[in-house]
Amino acid sequence: MLKIVIEDFYTLYKNGMELMLENIFHHENAAAIEILDFSEENISVADVVIKYFHAGESYICHSALKRRKPQSLLIGLYDGEGISSAPLPLCLKDTIFLHRSESITKVKRAIVNGWQDCNTESKRESEHDCQRCKHRTLSPQQIKVAAHFYRGEIPALVGDYLDISPKTVGAHKCKIMSKFNLNSDYELLNFLHQWLKQKQMKDLFQESQGIRTLSCNA
């Protein structure tokens, strides 16, 4: 039985993807499938992982995806602009990215071809050396600025709190947005919210000097 994990906030699209996967693997390949909830434990045993990537998420480390099994297929869904051609983090190695607007035919072809590739490769690199990884992160000062913005504070207030000018606060914000290819305050806040679901980043926010504990719905 093939185990499949899907994470997508758009329920209608997710349901359609489940039907397509059943058609591909059950009807065409005579393989029964089991749809599992998106969790680190399930990812580690899944044959296919499908995850929606918010703006900026393809640049960061994903602790859960680092533990996916060798030769598993990872499908990344996204909206808006295309995924950058910059080097991906090791946990996203060999990911097949699909825009949500792609036709059913193209999505189906990508999944079928990707699954065939996974089963013809002798071994997918399973070791993830974070020291060699190309994932992006924030400097200590950028973490402080980002934490204040996440709390909804204006640049003048952030500057007073960190003892820097509002102009410097704005410069840090621009660098953060440029680093993760974010185009609006909405994308910035949504990106930070998604990143804070990961314990490592949440700890960095909380450990930043003078930042009060933040809460996040995991």
List average pLDDT for each run of 10 residues in the chain, which is 218 residues long: 94 94 81 91 96 94 88 93 79 91 94 88 54 85 91 92 94 95 94 86 70 44
Residue 15 three-state SS: helix
pLDDT at 88: 86
pLDDT at 218: 39
Contact call for residues 92 and 4 (beta carbons, < 8 A): no
DSSP letters along 141-182, please?
HHHHHHHHHHTT--HHHHHHHHTS-HHHHHHHHHHHHHHTT-
- Taken in order of first residue, the domains within the chain and their CATH numbers are 2-120 (3.40.50.2300), 140-207 (1.10.10.10)
pLDDT at 128: 55
d(CA 75, CA 49) in angstroms, rounded, equals: 6
pTM, to two decimals: 0.84
- Helix or strand holding residue 207 (H, E): helix 199-207
The set of residues, in sequence order, having a beta carbon less than 8 Å from that of 21 and lying 6+ positions away, is: 4, 33, 35, 48, 111
pLDDT at 129: 64
21 is written with which tokens? 């996967």
Phi, psi at residue 99, to the nearest 5°?
Answer: -70, 140
pLDDT at 197: 84
The set of residues, in sequence order, having a beta carbon less than 8 Å from that of 124 and lying 6+ positions away, is: 70, 71, 72, 93, 94, 118
